[in-house]
Amino acid sequence: MINKLSMAIASYLKKVDSENTPSIDVMKYSLYVILHSLFTIICIFIASLLLGEVAATLAGLVYFILLRIFAGGFHLHSSTWCTVLSISLICLAPFIEFSQTWILIINIVAVGILFFYAPRNFKGYARIPEKYYPILKIVAVLIGGSNFYWQDPTLAAILVLQSILLIPKEKGGEGR
């Protein structure tokens, strides 16, 4: 659905102004990324309305997006699965309860993971030069560490999710 819409918009734009637009493939890909992200955000917003947790869900979404931008992480091979998993976990996060002690433990462990592994998996996905990776790491750690101030269980759940996405996948027999 999103793929067809991206192609239709890209084709229309190329037809309207063929001289001053990039190739249809470039526009289609860019539009796909934008529309896919927008679709996911709209689904999360609608689900948060239905579940009655709009503020907490949207706070978790913003926290996840910021962490993802600066920390990176594992990418699923299917955008459909990425959408389903993102919607499910971000909408579930406000319903996960942690005691203050567990929030503190989660924050310490997850910020430690951010410190050791962020930024991760940017090559092939982002055009950020490696010389900026230390800055990305600092910002990711600061964003993750902000939950030491907020002490919010929803943000703690999101922090766990994002930090897990940073842990390198072990390949068969290597590193053992």
Count of all residues that appear for the chain in the document: 176
Model confidence at 175: pLDDT above 60: no
pLDDT above 80 for 172: no
Q: Long-range contacts for 164-169 (Cβ within 8 Å, ≥24 apart)?
A: 164/113, 165/73, 165/74, 165/120, 166/71, 166/72, 166/73, 166/74, 166/113, 166/114, 166/117, 166/118, 166/120, 167/113, 167/117, 168/117, 168/120, 169/74
The one-letter amino acid code at 85 reads L
What's the burial of 173, exposed, middle or buried (CB within 10 Å: 0-12/13-18/19+)? exposed
Average pLDDT rounded to a whole number, residues 134-141 = 98
Q: How far apart are CA 176 and CA 165, in angstroms?
A: 21
| CA–CA distances in Å: residue 132 to residues 73, 127, 144, 167 | 16, 11, 18, 20
Mean pLDDT (whole number) for 82-90:
94
Question: What pLDDT is stored for residue 176 in this prediction?
Answer: 30
Q: How many CB atoms lie within 10 A of CB 13?
A: 17
> What are 72's strand-pairing partners?
120
Residue 37 has pLDDT above 50, yes or no: yes
Model-level pTM?
A: 0.89
pLDDT digits (tens, 9 = 90+) for 87-115: 999 999 999 999 999 999 999 999 999 99
